[in-house]
Amino acid sequence: MLEEELKNRIWQRYFKKYDCAGIVPQDVRERKGAFYTPQIWVELSQKYLANTFGVNWQEEYYIWDCCAGTGNLLNGLSNKYKIFASTLDQQDVDVMRDRIRNGANLLENHVFQFDFLNDDFFSEKVPEKLREIIADEKLRQKLIIYINPPYSEPSSYGKGGKPQVANLTKTFKRFSGTIGSEAMQELFTQFFVRTFNDLSGSTLATFSKPKFITSQKYDKFRQNFKAKFLKGFACKAETFDNVDGKFPIGFYILSLNNTSVLKKIALDVYDNDKALIKYTKIGKKTFSSVIGKSIGEWRKTFYDIDSEPIGYAIIVGPSMQSNNNTFFTSAPALSYQKKGMVANITANNVVEFSIYLAVRQCVEANWINDKDNYLYPSNKWAKDKEFHTNCLIYTLFHSQNRISGNNNINHWIPFTEYEVDAKEEFASHFMSNFLAGKIKSDNPKTLFVSSEQHRNTEIVVTHTAQAVLNAGRELWRYYHTMADANPNASLYDIKEYFQGRDKNGKMNASSSDQVYTKLMESLKSALWNLGELIKPKVYEYGFLDE
């Protein structure tokens, strides 16, 4: 077994004994944000520190973990004479002292109880050597505040008799005026702000969500917290104790000896194995505060309340994580109408709405991009006719297109009756005519149907989009061999016919009809290929930042 792995296991066993055995009860931990950093990320963060400050960094720099808990983050460091560890709870200090007696590489005099958000840096609690460093501008430049700060905010507390924590601290009172109380409600922000103001010139090496870079709530914070980003990485939040959800947590080395405003940070991205022993670098991700206008603003440019709707779009917020809640329907529920979440799709804006849906469906959400926002695109999309057609065809066959012909006229059948051998005439030929370039509009908002060039041409269908149409046509043809087929059925209706619903009314995921299953598989695979063709344009035209 590798030496590192062995050390790791011994520590995990030790940690379980002391930290999870209920020394500090769970509800108290939640209130104080007392959750430990996985050893895999502790190790990696120390590698990043060594890469930033050189192999001898521990000889040259002082390290202070000022929210050390039981000292987990300091595990693996070698020069105990330059390490300081303080934390809120005396019980945790006692555990650290006990660990020292059991061989932990820390100095008993350098481990102390200290409330970083309330206590005075020059109080007797603070070891003399550390006071000397704090007071000296030059020595502060050699000080690294190395932390995984607590994550808690009063909004999630103060309930059920629990005290509110974050907005009671001296640091909150001192800085909420300049930084804004919304950002300062988060304990981790308070650690950042006090370090910046009272330990100027030092380095902050910290774990945190990237929201201090990306969130608009942190605008004032960014104007005041001037720092230079040196190095850092992102890993999965769910690997951290007690954290659920698919989003990134970053480790950032920030020089506070700087006057520039943090706008963009590019982090190396790491994945991990299940046992949390190995990590793999999988790419880079830029987190940015330079957020342009949102896709919602763009959507407003093609609203059409004057023409006859052919369907309705359910519209949601701009973030990646809300993509599953945007879809097309023939009959929007009253609840959506009441909340103003319904937009008409008409002959004048069907192309733009298809682009809107396609760009939001072809890029898969994952833990790295989950919080990314869709933006107001550049004008380039408007000239790309092939992109328009690809998005339209993608949308016609996508599962978020829930248009139905059951109780409404279905304007969305992409084929003629002849092509699919329907038993009756369709109630609407809108979509097959539209695809054949036979429907015109004088609405200047829609370049697709109003441009002179397009008026006289058929829509150009790429090979990849044609493969989707072909696979879809086969599916429709098979459906129309059924004795009870509804001539006006939509793709959604066809799926419902073959897949059926469970007792709760939810559509089943599969069908026992083997022919249908095969045809559906072909359609899905052709659609995936088309999505891959659209994806690069999502970035090129600025619907998403790289």
Ligand X SMILES: C[S@@+](CC[C@H](N)C(=O)[O-])C[C@H]1O[C@@H](n2cnc3c(N)ncnc32)[C@H](O)[C@@H]1O
Candidate residues 8, 14, 31, 32; the one interacting with ligand X per rule CB under 6 A: 32
Q: Which stretch binds ligand X (CB under 6 A): 32-40, 197-205, 268-276, 300-308?
A: 32-40
Residue 33, interface with ligand X (CB under 6 A)?
A: yes
Q: Judging by beta carbons within 10 Å of its beta carbon (0-12, 13-18, 19+), is residue 524 exposed, middle or buried?
A: middle
Q: Which phi and psi angles does 229 have, rounded to 5°?
A: -80, 130
By DSSP bridging, strand 143-147 and strand 62-65 are parallel
- Give the C-alpha separation, 252 to 146, whole Å: 10
Footprint on residues 443-502 left by ligand X (CB under 6 A):
none
Residue 154, interface with ligand X (CB under 6 A)?
A: no
Q: Least CB distance from residue 165 to ligand X, whole Å? A: 8
Q: Which stretch binds ligand X (CB under 6 A): 34-42, 50-58, 329-337, 375-383?
A: 34-42
How many residues sit in the footprint of ligand X (CB under 6 A)?
Answer: 22
**Which of 148, 330 has the CB closer to ligand X?**
148
Q: Which stretch binds ligand X (CB under 6 A): 83-91, 256-264, 386-394, 440-448?
A: 83-91
- Give the C-alpha separation, 49 to 538, whole Å: 36
**Which of 116, 353 has the CB closer to ligand X?**
116
Residue 188, interface with ligand X (CB under 6 A)?
A: no
The DSSP letter of residue 408 is S
Q: Which stretch binds ligand X (CB under 6 A): 69-77, 262-270, 365-373, 395-403?
A: 69-77
Q: In what order do the strands lie in the sheet with 342-345?
A: 342-345, 311-314, 327-329, 401-402
Q: Which stretch binds ligand X (CB under 6 A): 84-92, 353-361, 403-411, 458-466?
A: 84-92
Candidate residues 73, 104, 468, 534; the one interacting with ligand X per rule CB under 6 A: 73
What is the b/e burial string over 304-339, where b = at least 16 CB atoms within 10 angstroms of the residue's CB?
A: beeeebbbbbbbbebbbbebeebbbbbebeeebeee
**Which of 114, 478 has the CB closer to ligand X?**
114
Residue 89, interface with ligand X (CB under 6 A)?
A: yes
Residue 64, interface with ligand X (CB under 6 A)?
A: no
Candidate residues 37, 185, 202, 354; the one interacting with ligand X per rule CB under 6 A: 37
**Which of 42, 413 has the CB closer to ligand X?**
42
- Give the C-alpha separation, 372 to 369, whole Å: 5
Measured between alpha carbons, how far apart are the two ends of the chain, in Å?
A: 40
Any idea what the Cα angle at residue 438 is, between residues 436 and 441, rounded to 5°?
A: 125
Residue 87, interface with ligand X (CB under 6 A)?
A: yes
Q: Least CB distance from residue 191 to ligand X, whole Å? A: 8
Strand partners, 391: none
The CB-nearest residue to ligand X is 69
Q: Least CB distance from residue 209 to ligand X, whole Å? A: 12
Q: Which stretch binds ligand X (CB under 6 A): 43-51, 87-95, 414-422, 428-436?
A: 87-95
Footprint on residues 215-244 left by ligand X (CB under 6 A):
none
Candidate residues 34, 347, 363, 459; the one interacting with ligand X per rule CB under 6 A: 34
Residue 172, interface with ligand X (CB under 6 A)?
A: no
Q: In what order do the strands lie in the sheet with 143-147?
A: 111-113, 83-87, 62-65, 143-147, 203-208, 248-255, 228-236, 264-272, 279-288
Q: Which phi and psi angles does 42 have, rounded to 5°?
A: -60, -50
**Which of 249, 459 has the CB closer to ligand X?**
249
Candidate residues 18, 36, 192, 327; the one interacting with ligand X per rule CB under 6 A: 36
Q: Least CB distance from residue 307 to ligand X, whole Å? A: 55
Candidate residues 44, 49, 63, 67; the one interacting with ligand X per rule CB under 6 A: 67
Footprint on residues 98-127 left by ligand X (CB under 6 A):
115-117
- Give the C-alpha separation, 254 to 282, whole Å: 23
Other residues' Cβ atoms within 10 Å of the Cβ of residue 260: 10
Residue 405, interface with ligand X (CB under 6 A)?
A: no
**Which of 158, 487 has the CB closer to ligand X?**
158
- Give the C-alpha separation, 107 to 85, whole Å: 9
**Which of 24, 475 has the CB closer to ligand X?**
24
Q: Least CB distance from residue 177 to ligand X, whole Å? A: 20
Candidate residues 148, 176, 239, 289; the one interacting with ligand X per rule CB under 6 A: 148
**Which of 72, 400 has the CB closer to ligand X?**
72
As given in the structure block, the two tokens for residue 466 are: 């044609």
The DSSP letter of residue 325 is G
Candidate residues 44, 49, 68, 422; the one interacting with ligand X per rule CB under 6 A: 68
DSSP-derived secondary structure for 54-117? -TTHHHH-EEEETT-TTTGGGTT---GGGEEEEES-HHHHHHHHHHHHTT-S--GGGEEE--TT
Torsion of CA 219, 222, 224, 226, to 10 degrees: -170
Torsion of CA 429, 462, 296, 294, to 10 degrees: 180
Residue 88, interface with ligand X (CB under 6 A)?
A: yes
**Which of 150, 414 has the CB closer to ligand X?**
150
Q: Which stretch binds ligand X (CB under 6 A): 82-90, 261-269, 367-375, 430-438?
A: 82-90
Instruction: Report H helices in 371-416.
Output: 380-383, 385-396
The structure tokens 């970053």 sit at 250
Q: Least CB distance from residue 6 to ligand X, whole Å? A: 20
Candidate residues 150, 232, 311, 531; the one interacting with ligand X per rule CB under 6 A: 150
By DSSP bridging, strand 203-208 and strand 248-255 are antiparallel
Q: Which residues bind ligand X (CB under 6 A)?
A: 32-37, 65-69, 72-73, 87-89, 92, 115-117, 148, 150
